[in-house]
Amino acid sequence: MQDMKSCFDGKVAVITGAGGTLCSAIAVDLARKGAKVVLIGRTREKLEKVAAQISEFAVRVEPGDVTDENAMRRIAERVAGEWGPCRFLVNGAGGNNSKAMPTRLRYSEADLAPTADFAKDRGFWDIDMDAFRSVLEINTLGTVIPSRIFGLQMAKAGGGSILNFASMNTYRPLTRVAPYAMSKAAIANWTMFFAQYMAPAKVRVNAVAPGFMVNERSRQYLMTPDGGLSPRGEQVMHHTPAGRFGEAADLLGCVDWLLDDTKSAFVTGITVPVDGGFLSSAGV
């Protein structure tokens, strides 16, 4: 049931990356709390599946590329014209690219020769730099651009709350994912910068850093086809005191708190890990 006392009631909440496992759960939760939810993502089909879960509430599907400033501006203008200004923004769009990831974990003499099989064996000098750039762009500009456009709406309307998506890579770079780690470290820095810049406009800016969550992508490298743990999954679990991977529902309480001005009015510029204790454990 919709909570009529919710601070989200009747206000516009924009979620980018809304077709993904984590942000779709956030979208559903905010809709059930009374928000008018705008789903943004590159794939209409994924967005429509999310919208179908909350069709009894105010929801709209707006396909678009978060790195395209003109596309984001057009969406913002349409939404404001019909529903009013954005009050909550969740910057969940992002991603990685396997072409930007070496399969080797450390330098070896194999790096001195061209790889014979890119799909199975590649070092740092074999990775695709166009793919490297694309990861940096989606994870950084894909947060900055929506923040500029929807953040300005918030400022004009007298306030709002922005939530960015950081990562465990924000705190320490995991092996093989250099551009992803770089970009997620940048998100924490951007969150602090934009928080202090937007404070006079009564716009708060924070970030959440999910730990190892179960989704379509993570299953491929954390689990085996039969549902067991891969070697990488075993390493993660060895460093996770909670003894399990996270679920999308594990994020909802933190997201609610960071977005809600009645609960976190004096909180801005922080990044909160939701990681089952991963960062607290050295694994020994």
- Range of 47's domain? 12-97+136-211+246-274
Determine the Cα–Cα distance for residues 37 and 35; give it in Å rounded to an integer: 6
Q: What is the pTM of this model?
A: 0.94
Active site residue 107: no
CATH of the domain at 169: 3.40.50.720
Q: Is residue 225 part of a domain?
A: no
Which among 20, 22, 50 has a CA at the least distance from the CA of 37?
50
Q: Is residue 230 part of a domain?
A: no
Which of residues 178 and 218 earns the better pLDDT score? 178
Read off the pLDDT of residues 183-200 as tens digits, 9 standing for 90 and up: 999 999 999 999 999 999
H helix intervals, the chain: 21-32, 44-53, 69-83, 129-136, 142-157, 178-198, 216-222, 231-238, 249-259, 261-264
Q: Is residue 202 part of a domain?
A: yes
Read off the pLDDT of residues 150-162 as tens digits, 9 standing for 90 and up: 999 999 999 999 9
Which of residues 168 and 216 earns the better pLDDT score? 168
Q: Is the dihedral of CA 57, 60, 150, 271 positive or negative?
A: positive
Task: Indicate the number of domains in the chain.
Answer: 1
User: Are the C-beta atoms of residues 103 and 152 closer than 8 Å to each other?
Assistant: no
Determine the Cα–Cα distance for residues 214 and 225; give it in Å rounded to an integer: 14
Read off the pLDDT of residues 70-96 as tens digits, 9 standing for 90 and up: 999 999 999 999 999 999 999 999 999
Q: Is residue 183 part of a domain?
A: yes
Determine the Cα–Cα distance for residues 275 and 132; give it in Å rounded to an integer: 26
Predicted confidence at residue 2, as pLDDT, reads 46
Tell me the pLDDT of the chain averaged across its residues.
Answer: 94
The secondary structure of residue 14, as a DSSP letter, is E
Predicted confidence at residue 222, as pLDDT, reads 87
CA angle in degrees (0–180, nearest 5) for 211-217-219: 80
Q: Is residue 67 part of a domain?
A: yes
The active-site residue, picked from 107, 171, 180, 221, is 180
What's the rounded mean pLDDT across residues 120-131? 94
Q: Is residue 64 part of a domain?
A: yes
Q: How confident is the model at residue 231 (pLDDT cuts 50, 70, 90)?
A: confident
Q: Is residue 112 part of a domain?
A: no
Determine the Cα–Cα distance for residues 62 and 226; give it in Å rounded to an integer: 36
Determine the Cα–Cα distance for residues 273 and 211; give it in Å rounded to an integer: 7
H helix intervals, 84-230: 129-136, 142-157, 178-198, 216-222
Determine the Cα–Cα distance for residues 101 and 178; give it in Å rounded to an integer: 7
Q: Is residue 123 part of a domain?
A: no
